[in-house]
Amino acid sequence: MQQLYKLIDAIPESIQGKLIKRNISAGETILYKGEDVQHVYILIKGIVSVSSKFKNGQRYTFAQFGAPSFIGEVESLAEQPIYAANVQAVTPCTTLSMSTSTFWHWLESDTSFSLLMAQLVATKMYPSSNNNGTIKFMSGKQKLLHYLIDQYLPYDKNYFTLTIKKYPISL
């Protein structure tokens, strides 16, 4: 991620003047699923988690990442009107936020930034695409087995703890 640090250090002056620095406390939500996409954030310090809450009340955290990184860039690049997930600070964080129009101006005017953004999004999306492609074609029993293996605590081979809150499983 040295490239990203170099990029942050070389943000064009026309973009720097439009960035808003924000310190965020651990536990604070940076953006909510379903909110209008209005900003893209550069995470310059800290760790965030990405989660989604489902109709049954379950919250599923499917990613956690640290600085340096971007938040909200996928929705903006896909020209989606709403954020797809909640992003919450796990540790104290510092972000630089910009409007989506500023983000797009930067992309259009800086080839190095555009290429790095393409690489960052591809790196972020690849594990999900690879995993989803595998899981979608598994039978119910295979999905359950996959889930149980993921929950297994490798430091104690005699047992594992499985915590489920009244979540119906159909095989």
Q: How far apart are CA 45 and CA 166, in angstroms?
A: 37
Is residue 38 in a domain? yes
Is residue 82 in a domain? yes
Q: Is 31 in contact with 87 (CB distance < 8 Å)? A: yes
Beta bridge partner(s), residue 98: 40
pLDDT at 46 over 90: yes
Tokens standing for residue 8: 């942050």
Is residue 159 in a domain? no
pLDDT at 20 over 70: yes
**Which residue would you say has higher pLDDT here, 168 or 135?**
135
Exposure letters 120-132 (e unless 16+ CB within 10 A, then b): beeebeeeeeeee
The reported pLDDT for the residue numbered 164 is 58
CA atoms within 13 A on the CB side of 33: 13
Residue written as tokens 């993921």? 150
Is residue 73 in a domain? yes
pLDDT in tens, 112-124: 899 989 988 888 7
What is the average pLDDT score of the chain? Answer: 84
Look at the alpha carbons of 12, 16, 22, 23 in this order and tell me if their dihedral is positive or negative.
positive
Is residue 158 in a domain? no
Is residue 156 in a domain? no
Is residue 171 in a domain? no
- Domains held by the chain: number: 1
What is the SS3 assignment for 107?
helix
Tell me which residue range forms the domain holding 89.
Answer: 2-137
**Which residue would you say has higher pLDDT here, 78 or 63?**
78
CA angle, residues 155, 163, 62, in degrees to nearest 5: 80
Is residue 37 in a domain? yes
**Could you tell me the CATH number of the domain that includes residue 111?**
2.60.120.10
Residue 126 contacts by C-beta under 8 Å, 6 or more apart in sequence? none
